[in-house]
Amino acid sequence: MQALPAPEPNPATRPHLTAIASGKGGVGKTWFSVTLAQALAAQHHRVLLFDGDLGLANVDIQLGFTPKHDLGAVLAGRVTLAEAAVPIGGAGFSVLPGRSGSGALASLPGDALATVLGGLATLPYDHVLLDLGAGLDTANRRMAAGADTLLVLVTDEPTSLTDAYAVIKLNEADAPRADVRIVVNLATGATSGQRTYTSLARACSRFLGRTPKLAGIIRRDPHVTDAIRHQTPLLTRHPNSPAAVDVTHIAAALGGER
Ligand SMILES: Nc1ncnc2c1ncn2[C@@H]1O[C@H](COP(=O)(O)OP(=O)(O)OP(=O)(O)O)[C@@H](O)[C@H]1O
Ligand SMILES: [Mg+2]
């Protein structure tokens, strides 16, 4: 693979990099990333969503488009990062597809990944969101540790909680004192969501000596499934649904980071 040119990012103008991770799979990272991207764009931010689940196609399927180029084409030097980004009509943000047909990107060497992250930081966006695959394999760990903010999605299932704790612990080793925040998804209500957050936060403060902040609680909402089934972003299809309102609040807090 050919090395990418890596211009120096300007710290004053470079985008805020937010990685979206979870321990357990299937807790809503990809859906949340798409919706957060759309909510930030609706709040007048320039947003790029990078599909960082490098082995599988995710974002393009939820949005119903077929990418012309992916990260593999960028790394092979056929297109630039900017050329590979696909503007999502009507949703106000762009997507950088991460997969390669061969799945070879899942084992991308660390320096290539660092170059990609460095390249993303030079693009003209206010926010770059990284939708990671479940768990923290080496590629995920690097991307999580390279982010300005790490959002860890958790649900009230015990396996989701223990796996989220493991992710936070690993990230603490890779990037001590990083800005890590918790998003509780699939909550039955505010009280149970708060309970889920409190049990994870308590474990973190007891065993890691620090307490991640709560980024927000997202309610379980059948509109989410409906929007995904129709391959349409939630804020387009159901802008006033409970989950849309919850993600809009999270976007408002995150948007203030830049
Ligand atoms: N707030 C919600 N309300 C209702 N359903 C939800 C909500 N969030 C996620 N889901 C459901 O969870 C499913 C899984 O979501 P998604 O594919 O985004 O998870 P993921 O964490 O990215 O999975 P993976 O670990 O495989 O990448 C969705 O198809 C959707 O039906
Ligand atoms: Mg996913």
pLDDT (tens digit, 9 = 90+) per residue, 54-97? 777 689 888 988 888 888 888 888 999 999 999 998 899 999 98
Q: How confident is the model at residue 106 (pLDDT cuts 50, 70, 90)?
A: low
Is the CB of 248 inside a 6 Å radius of any atom of ligand 1?
A: no
Domains of the chain, by residue range, sit at: 18-255
pLDDT over threshold 70, residue 158: yes
CA torsion, ordered 154, 155, 157, 158, to nearest 10 deg: 30
Write the CA distances from 255 to 10, 85, 108, 135, 182, integer angstroms. Answer: 19, 21, 30, 26, 16
Position in ligand 1 atom list of the atom nearest CA 219: 1
For a mutational test of ligand 1's pocket, the pick from 22, 24, 27, 219, i.e. the residue with the most ligand atoms closer than 8 A to its C-beta, is 27
Which residue minimizes the CA distance to atom 19 of ligand 1?
Answer: 28
**Ligand having the closest approach to the CA of 219:** 1
Q: How confident is the model at residue 101 (pLDDT cuts 50, 70, 90)?
A: low
Joined tokens for residue 32: 């949340």
| C-alpha torsion sign, points 167, 173, 175, 176 | positive
CATH number at 18-255? 3.40.50.300
Position in ligand 1 atom list of the atom nearest CA 53: 27
Is the CB of 149 inside a 6 Å radius of any atom of ligand 1?
A: no
Give the whole-angstrom CA distance, residue 252 versus residue 163.
Answer: 27
Is the CB of 91 inside a 6 Å radius of any atom of ligand 1?
A: no
Helices H / strands E in the chain, number of each? 11, 8
